[in-house]
Structure 1
Amino acid sequence: MKILIFGGTTEGRLLAQALSQRGLPATVSVATPLGAQELSGLPGITPLVGRKTAQEMAELLKSFDRCVDATHPYAVEASRNIRTACQAAEVPLRRLLRAESSHETGHWVESPEEAARWLRERSGNVLLAIGAKGIGAFQDLDRERLYPRVLPVVESILACQQAGIPTRNIIALHGPFSRDLNRAMLEQYHIRYLVTKDGGRAGGFEEKAAAAREAGAELVVIGRPTETGCTLEEILSWLTQD
């Protein structure tokens, strides 16, 4: 059986590791070279780098028997394209879910744009821990108060620059971030609001929430889109069926 995983996330990496340990080969499609690096050294796992349209996905899927969508919980467009491609290629699909956090603390919003509107009425520095794609929603705020934390790759830095973020405010680091490191950043940059997604345990949400509480910063949480899918164990059972 030929397996295609759309990954680039913690869940996708864990699934690839589990398949490798079982001697089951798989191809993992990731958007960036960084995603491919995190799969290096896994026997039987072949990274495929580059973002793809739904049409390109459908063409790729013609060579596979089963597909797993292990993209980020907030990658709504990517998941929609994967569903469309699997239907076109008539390849069975399963969605691998990430567990949500159990926290209800902070101010919850539905989008980066809503978070930006809420922050417009409030003063104080803002740590944006939401990834580079959402930075543009905050460009109408005073850029001097914005501190985006993004991956240390050219694409992320360019997104910050296009949003007018001062270079000295860009925190380009690769996680995971401990509670202590999160707290140190909040204190170093005098952060009043920490904007984050509900990335669950895999996305370090617990550490962010604890650090914000200890540093006296308020969480602004962009809620997760509603979706259905399977656990890692359920996906593995499906992929190992005869």
Structure 2
Amino acid sequence: MIILLGETPAAREISEHLQNRGINFIKKSAWIGKDNLTLPSVIVDISHPSSDKFVSLSQFCKQSGVPYLRLERPETNIPDSPLISQACNWEEALLCLNERISTLYQKKERQVKVFITTGSHQLESIVHSPFAGMARFIVRVLPEGCLVQKCQDLGIHPRDILAMQGPFSKDINKALFKFYGADIVLTKDSGLAGGTDTKISSALELGLEILLIRKNKAGYGLIMNNIDELITWIDENILK
């Protein structure tokens, strides 16, 4: 049995592959605890790359002796710039946002505009943070009604919600950052396929500060960088 984690396009592609080959699997949006795993033969994790839970999941798999596969895009080469701050997780990102927003708020004497390209993930922790009153958040999410509604329920004004499907070109990113008058761009390292390089280069050309959330490192399991590699492993190890 395969436990497939994730609601990403890659997860949907893997689902179709498994169905076409008649492989039994259970699809979950995310891992929420070991009680949901009933002795699977393998866990294939294609969940959101900014999820912090997969580190503890990999540790659980190691302790339980369950094969763990994680699809990860290669890390982006980040240019050396004083405008770029990096965080290893959301806790560090919130601390960094607090420091940068507080500094810019005192300097500019107005709300600091933060352009969020990490979607709705962990948005609650941002809008409910101590620094929220000093900032205006512009959020870019996938064009799905539930995500737009989530942003509105959290108090994001409709004018500050961009429901768009990426990845985006450098010119589009630059135009959006400029249109909204962004001061800080919050993004995650989702690799070249996720457009991390174009977001960073666009922001740098505009002289904007960038807060980049780097990838977490799993301590156990097989890390694969593309879908074909993962499918090949499944064919060779599950269908053999």
Instruction: Return the TM-score normalized by structure 1.
Output: 0.72
Match of 2:171, SS state, is helix
8 Å CA contact 2:93–2:211 kept in 1: the answer is: no
Is 1:113 paired with 2:94? yes
- Distance, in Å, in 2 between the alignment partners of 1:162 and 1:96 is 32
8 Å CA contact 2:170–2:202 kept in 1: the answer is: yes
CA gap 1:16/1:215 in 2 versus in 1, 3 angstroms: farther
CA gap 1:82/1:158 in 2 versus in 1, 3 angstroms: farther
Match of 2:223 among 230, 233, 242: 230
1:1-242 paired onto structure 2 within 5 Å: 2-13=1-12, 15-16=14-15, 23=21, 25=23, 27=25, 29-31=27-29, 53-55=32-34, 57-59=36-38, 62=39, 65-78=41-54, 80-81=56-57, 84=60, 91-104=66-79, 105=81, 106-110=84-88, 111-117=92-98, 118-123=100-105, 124-139=112-127, 140-142=131-133, 145-228=136-219, 229-231=222-224, 232=226, 234-239=229-234, 240-241=236-237, 242=240
- Distance, in Å, in 1 between the alignment partners of 2:132 and 2:163 is 21
- Distance, in Å, in 2 between the alignment partners of 1:153 and 1:72 is 16
Cα deviation per residue 1:3-51 (whole Å; 9 max; x = unaligned)? 4422323543554566678x464646253xxxxxxxxxxxxxxxxxxx5
Amino acid corresponding to residue 56 of structure 2 in structure 1: R
After TM superposition, the structure 1 stretch with the greater mean CA deviation from structure 2, 169-178 or 11-20, is 11-20
8 Å CA contact 2:120–2:151 kept in 1: the answer is: yes
Relative contact order higher in (CA < 8 Å, ≥ 6 apart): 2
- Distance, in Å, in 1 between the alignment partners of 2:136 and 2:52 is 29
8 Å CA contact 1:19–1:26 kept in 2: the answer is: yes
Q: Which 5+ residue runs of structure 2 have no aligned equivalent? A: 106-111
CA gap 1:227/1:85 in 2 versus in 1, 3 angstroms: closer
8 Å CA contact 1:179–1:211 kept in 2: the answer is: yes
Match of 2:202, SS state, is helix
Cα deviation per residue 1:90-146 (whole Å; 9 max; x = unaligned)? 643222222111114412134331232122211442201112132233333336622
Amino acid corresponding to residue 104 of structure 2 in structure 1: R
After TM superposition, give the deviation of residue 173 of structure 1 in Å: 2.1
The alignment covers a number of residue pairs equal to 217
- Distance, in Å, in 1 between the alignment partners of 2:117 and 2:66 is 35
